[in-house]
Chain A
Amino acid sequence: MIARITRWLATSRGSGVILIVLLLGLWQFSALYIMDTPTWPPVTRILAAWYDNIADGTLLRHLLATFWRQMLGYFLAVALGIGLGVAIGYYRILYNLLEPLIEIFRPIPGPAYLPVLVLFVGIGHEMKVVLIMVASLFPILLNTYGGVRSIDPVQLDTARTLGLTTWQTLREVVLPAASPQILTGMRISLAISLILAILSEMIVSNDGLGYFTLLAERTFKVPDMYAGIFTLALFGYLLNRLFLIGESRLIRWHQESSGRR
């Protein structure tokens, strides 16, 4: 019996799901019978509030607002990061010129750009998009030029013997060869972009999940606040899941040949 349980724990991920259910049960129990305070509502109350906010469309509206600005900032960062990163990685002159500058800007935490952006871009939608873009840019940029620079010289020599032009080499060799690293950067930045979207909405906004969650807390609608956080957890999980599916389609050759699957 014990051997069977041990084997199940080792082979199945079901235990992880059971743990989540158990913790929710503990939450429910403690909220009902131990900590009877408005700051710790039972799970059922949160689920009810969650349902209400979904049913009247409130959550969807805020979710879409967050999603839209996050994606806008993120994809601007992806385009800029890959474009600039490939150029820096491919041309040594650009690397020597720009790498020190990037190293200075890189350690600045994304939120630190916020006050500057408020001064220059204001407090509207554009500010949030630019903030998300700036914070998401660096992981993509660094991973892209890192990936391009680590391409094996044999691959570039092969491109030359095949008579490929620079553009053809970028398309056929450089981008695919660097794609595992580029995608790593993109995955890190996807998480960062959500963080910055929520943060900017909490600081100054009138829509978005960050705004919804903080407003709920300030107006003492605690179950709504938790519903907002639950939504974010689910949303973040789904985004990452979708990303991983897309990634494994794009670089299956890499994952299979390096035994990551």
Chain B
Amino acid sequence: MADFLSVERLSKEFSAHGRIACKDISFAVGQKEFVALVGPSGCGKSTLLHITAGLSTPTSGAVRLRGERVTAPRPEMMYVFQQYTKSIFPWKTVLDNVCLGIKYRARRSRSEKETAARAQLEAVGLAAYAHYYPYQLSGGMQQRVAIARALVRRPEILLMDEPFSALDAMMRVELQDLLLALWQELGLTIVFVTHDLDEALYLAQRVVLLSASPGSVAEVLEVPLPYPRHQVETRRQSIYLELRAHLYRRLVQQVMGARSEAA
């Protein structure tokens, strides 16, 4: 199980300014697992996810999917960007954006593809907005389009880079629950980057805490809370509160440690 998706001794150095973003990071994600990556800002979470997706290359180390090295974006893995306003193409309608996910796949007719896209829009609650343009939608709806476009490709893994950080609180809560429902229904594996400890604990089965820059794994935390989770009930359980306090202390340690080192 641990061999499904693994990050092995991964380091990334930006040659342009000699900054080390990630240093010797290793962790594994099991199939159908929901893992959250948290860490202080600038610790290289996004860089790590970018490399995992095959969008950029590590300086050393490797990402393996079922033992096979990932060097370019793979159809089994879909990336959901934080910047949905850019990732959703403003010149395409909602339906065309989702269709683009499978437009160039062979062996299916155009109408089959459109049916699949419409079904996916239905699943994220946007059935009525197929012919809208992104600028006519709210931020939460735009990110739903991005999720629908990723899911229409039937990926096994979703790599999500702070997908809800630009949304207001109510939208974020809604999308968190939608994501959990989709995760359970479709048997997805999700790696979710966030800087929000509450979000990480609420969503994930496991939380990987990265240390401050250069990021490396500081701690891996199991979250033994049952699903389905509940926005109010789950968040006031004692396990949740203890984990939250622990994570918070560890995160502060990371930030303070990095500061005193820099000073």
Which residues from chain A sit less than 8 Å from chain B, CB to CB?
A: 152, 154-155, 157-158, 160-165, 168, 172-173, 176-177, 179, 251, 253-254, 256-257
Contact = CB atoms under 8 A, between A and B. Distances in A.
Given A163-B104, A172-B100, A155 B87 contact: yes
Q: Looking at chain A's contact residues, is the secondary structure mostly helix, strand, loop, or mixed?
A: helix
Contacts of B42: none
A162 B53 contact: no
Contacts of B135: 253, 256-257
Most buried by B among A152, A164, A168, A253: A253
Contacts of A163: 73, 75, 104
A154 B87 contact: yes
B78 interface: yes
Interface string B75-113: 101110101001101111000000011011000000000
B55 A155 contact: no
Interface residues of B, number: 25
Contacts of A158: 79, 81, 86-87, 89
Contacts of A165: 104
B4 interface: no
Nearest to A154: B86
Contact of A168 (B77, B89, B104): B104
A254 B153 CA distance: 27
Contacts of B104: 163-165, 168
B181 to A, nearest CB: 23
A38 to B, nearest CB: 56
9 contacts: A154-B83, A160-B73, A161-B55, A161-B73, A162-B149, A172-B100, A173-B89, A177-B91, A253-B91
